[in-house]
Amino acid sequence: MSRILKLGSALAAVVLILSSCAGPAATIIPSASPTAVPATATAVPATPTAVPATATAVPATATPAASPTEEVSPTPEITPEPTPPPAAVAGTLTIWADNVRTPVLTSVAEAFTAQYNVPVQVYELGFGQIRDSLILRGPAGEGPDIIIGAHDWLGALVAAGVVEPLDLADKAASFEQVGLDAFSYEGTLYGLPYVSEAIALYYNKDLVPTPPTTWDELKTMATDLQEAGTVDQGYCLQKGDPYHSYPILTGFGGYIFGKNADGSYNPEDVGLDSEGGKAYAQELDQLVKDGLLVDNVDYGACTAMMTGDAGANPPRAAFWMTGPWALTDFRNSGVNYGVAPIPMMENQPRPFVGVQGMMVSSFAPNKVLAQTFLTEYIATDDAMNQLYEADPRIPVWIPLETTVVATDPDIAAFAESAKFGDSLPAIPEMSSVWDAWTIAINVIFEQSQDPDAAVTDAAAKIRDLIATP
Amino acid sequence: MTAGQKGASRRDAPSPISSLIWRVVALAVIDAFAITFGYALYSGGLTIAAAALALVTFAINVVFLVDRLYPLRWISPGIFLLVLMVVYPVLYTVYIAFTDYSGQHILSKQQVVDQLESRFYTPEGSASLQWRAYRSDSGDFLIWLTDPDGNRFLGDPASGITTVDPNDPRSGPLDPADNLPTTIDGYRKLTRAESVRYLTSLSGLLITGDIDGQPAQLHILSLDRAEIGLQRYTYDASRDVVVDHQAGTEYHPEGGFFVASDGSRAPAPGFVDFIGLDNFRRVLTDPRLSSAFLGVFTWTVVFAAGSVILCFALGLALALVFNDKRLPLNGVFRTLAIIPYTVPGFISALIWVGLLNPTFGPVNSFLRDTFGLNPQWFADGTLAKVAIFMINTWLGYPYMLIVTLGALQSIPSDLYEAAEIDGASAVQRFRRITFPLLLIAITPLLIGSFAFNFNNFTLIELVTQGGPSVPGSITPAGQTDILISYSYRLAFAAGKGNDYAFAATISIFIFAIIAAITLVNFRLSRRVENLI
């Protein structure tokens, strides 16, 4: 027993010595953690004013608490770990971006740091990961200040309470209204839009000198090319891709969600099995029966057929509706392509319009700084230009859009198509739609179910999912 | 005194002092880390985690200081990791299953209260202010405010907001650019661009003033604008309500939201609420789950059992061949057969999907050209299941081959010699000696493999995504969906966003099912071994 006592006391002594050595480290961590949790960060300066009697004495003690944030900025000594976590700390702006935007934002951030002496960290995440990472890690104090995102995440982000309203003030006038509307949720603006995208008709200029203006014309051209053996598939539409078939749905009078009087989507009104929705299903069914649509074709197969395996072979398809993200593939392949508006169907076909932008986290330690970065620095010709160059889509920054539309006929065609588009629904109920809709398209491609029944079942599934608490 | 302890002290005996020093130093390092880390956790608000850490550290100290617990020393790191990596996540999953943690209920109640309490409102007619900051050499700030009428105020964290006296002796010379003093009492004016660097500190300042006698606070909204506002919401902990001071309404927590008496919600997200057994009730009563359950469950068992049997059969067959000394180039074949195991499963599975593509894949172009067949691998339920078995067998047999080869070599060769002398045929030797002895060694691995395939989400998701879909079905269950992939579809690809709590609940049910099956399996296999 006495041995244990001796051991214990010896241990206590060594621990005391060691933990006093670890003293500096121990004070660094707590000073960092309150800044990571905004609630406590504001609580620290609260003390001086809460007790006016000691107010004059307190600033002396309050200063050390505030000083780490400003000592940090000139020399980046806040990163003692070799690999700092991609979480924001006070005084350093942290941005989560995808692989395309990370290099651009890094160079924009370097210029920002040079001008304003504020360090910026840009971390790369998969585009699809950013939304859920913010929802899970933001509230835990491990999130960034700013994220890159798509406007249709907004429903989920706002419902979770992780994004902050944004005030663009007088800069708002330089943005296309469609971009601002897309990043508004229930009347509040949450993000700074920078590009929008919508699909249009790619066509092969060697095979089709003038693009079709009506849907029937397109089908005739596609059939002729197929029958002549010039192509494998005249018109390409990948299986199981609701997004790319939406213009056909709207072109035949169908819809996904009805709209309220103020233009917002009404999740109570599912229109996949409306008369127009059934006409859309029958049209797809007919295209499959006529041999114009083929089972087992995916996005990659369409790219390969349209570009002739990236230029290695002659193209094997003449028409494909997709978005500006495919431009790089087409341009690199050397195929003689053109982009035209989606041909007229029974109604004006409306593609989905998606908008990308930047949002400020509700748990950002540097909220005002982050908003300032967006309004003062991203909302400028120079930054918008760099973002556009990295990944050409339709700019929503009006000065840039004007020049791009005038100089790039492809982007101009996408912009034209987007004018008729419907904003991709941002309401959380949209997550109920994709699976059921995909299944409906698949069973039509596989010819395993009657088209009317396929969309009726899908709509019933969607209604059922939305009604679930 | 046990033998073990005697042994331990004898082992300590040659160098008691150095052993003691080692122990004390090692423990001291651990404790110092624990204290530093625990303090950081505690001051970060993670009291439970800090307490758990303290408990674990105390346990480690006891184990290392008390000689009687000597054997525990060497497994204590393992136990610690087990608690950290297995027990804690399991407990957390169980906890989540009793809450409504999902799309609209992500934040804690305190975080929602904090969000509400940080909102402010400005009384009718008050306009927003222009601001400039002044900074002293010691890092303190003053905020100069100008309202649209040209009235000027000075905000000081120490003394609040006061009207500026034009003849204040502390003011330095005026800056002709904006007509503001360049310095005030040693505080230097920051330019607009300089203010950016200090924005986070500036917006964190608490500068109080008053509006009609009520305590108000300065809020910096952007690089140019600031407002003096009254706190809009306060939380009354004693009554558990949030009070809206502007509208005069009260919101009480209900169902994970703050709700007013007329049913309207406070303008804030929901919070995570404890909802008892509701999720479990939902799993048991949800028609989408119960109507599809039987079909999905049957296929899950068939898939898991079938995969194990096929992989084992192929692995065993190859092992018997490779185990035969007469086979030339034995080593080469062994190496080649194990290659599928070394290619990442993700890649193999995706390559198989490409190979089996009915339009473009080489498998179908061969079948078309030679037999005139064109099987629709992923459009037909039965064929999709065949494809899944094929791919999973390809992925899984090398493992069975490796373990079977090892087990075969451990079967004593004299048994075979004896059998040969007794005139047993090769088939008899296999049935009476090899197979029974092999099963004893392999059965636990087969059960493990069964449990693994029962939850083989990756394969299903990579190959078929649960498809093909069941025409006319109201549930999102596809024909090749197993329980785990189906619950993923229910919890994450449906409804109004990610339903983590529902997913946690389903995973508890799946755990119970697998545990039950494994238990039965072990019982049965023990009985089989006894029979042999």
**What tens digit of pLDDT does each residue of A286-319 get?**
999 888 888 878 888 899 999 988 878 888 899 9
C-alpha torsion sign, points B103, B106, B109, B115: negative
Give how far Cα A4 sits from Cα of A10, B23, B27, B68, B72, Å. Answer: 10, 12, 14, 11, 17
3 state SS of A369: helix
pLDDT value for A39: 30
Biggest CA–CA distance in chain A, Å, is 99
**What tens digit of pLDDT does each residue of B271-282 get?**
999 888 988 988
pLDDT value for A50: 30
**Residue written as token pair 């004007």:** A402
Give how far Cα B382 sits from Cα of B71, B220, B388, Å. Answer: 55, 65, 10
**What tens digit of pLDDT does each residue of A78-111 get?**
333 334 346 677 778 999 999 888 988 998 899 8
pLDDT at B359 over 80: no
pLDDT value for B151: 84
Distance from CA of A413 to the nearest CA of B (A): 32
Inter-chain touch A436–B471, beta carbons under 8 Å:
no
pLDDT value for A466: 82
For chain B, the C-alpha Rg in angstroms (whole number) is 36
Nearest Cα residue in chain A from B32: A19
Q: Terminus-to-terminus CA distance in chain B, angstroms?
A: 42
Nearest neighbour of B223 by CB, restricted to A8, A136, A372: A372
- Classify residue A310 as exposed, middle or buried by CB count within 10 Å of its CB (0-12, 13-18, 19+): middle
**Average pLDDT, integer, range B488-508:** 79
**Average pLDDT, integer, range A436-446:** 87
Give how far Cα B372 sits from Cα of B363, B369, B375, B379, B386, Å. Answer: 12, 6, 10, 18, 19
Distance from CA of A41 to the nearest CA of B (A): 7
Inter-chain touch B376–A295, beta carbons under 8 Å:
yes
Alpha helices in B267-375 (DSSP H): 278-285, 287-323, 330-342, 345-355, 362-371
Phi, psi torsion values for B70, nearest 5 degrees = -45, -50
Nearest neighbour of B44 by CB, restricted to A4, A33, A371: A33
A73 vs A138 pLDDT, higher one? A138
Predicted confidence band at B2 (pLDDT cuts at 50, 70, 90)?
Answer: very low
**Average pLDDT, integer, range A66-86:** 34
Inter-chain touch A368–B357, beta carbons under 8 Å:
no
Contacts of A57 (CB under 8 A, 6+ apart): none
B106 part of contact set with chain A, CB < 8 Å: yes
Inter-chain touch B471–A66, beta carbons under 8 Å:
no
pLDDT value for A51: 29
Cα angle A42, A44, A50; round to 5: 95
Residues of B in contact with A22 (CB under 8 A): 32, 35-36
Predicted confidence band at B258 (pLDDT cuts at 50, 70, 90)?
Answer: very high
Nearest Cα residue in chain A from B492: A431
pLDDT value for B18: 78
Inter-chain touch A14–B104, beta carbons under 8 Å:
no
B104 part of contact set with chain A, CB < 8 Å: yes
Phi, psi torsion values for B495, nearest 5 degrees = 65, -140
Distance from CA of B261 to the nearest CA of A (A): 21
Distance from CA of B167 to the nearest CA of A (A): 24
Distance from CA of A201 to the nearest CA of B (A): 24
pLDDT at A200 over 90: yes
Give how far Cα B400 sits from Cα of B309, B322, B426, B528, Å. Answer: 10, 13, 22, 20
pLDDT at B422 over 60: yes
Distance from CA of B511 to the nearest CA of A (A): 24
Percent of chain A that is helix, strand, coil (3-state, to 5): 55, 15, 30
Interface of B with A in 13-72 (CB under 8 A): 20, 23-25, 27-29, 31-32, 35-36, 39-40, 43-45, 61, 65-66
pLDDT value for A61: 29
C-alpha torsion sign, points A29, A31, A34, A35: negative
pLDDT value for A78: 33
Contacts of B100 (CB under 8 A, 6+ apart): B255, B256, B270, B272, B273, B275, B278, B279, B501
Q: Is A260 left (phi over 0), alpha (psi -120 to 50) or beta?
A: beta
| H or E element that contains A189 | strand A188-189
pLDDT value for B179: 80
Inter-chain touch A48–B45, beta carbons under 8 Å:
no
Q: What is the mean pLDDT of chain A?
A: 80
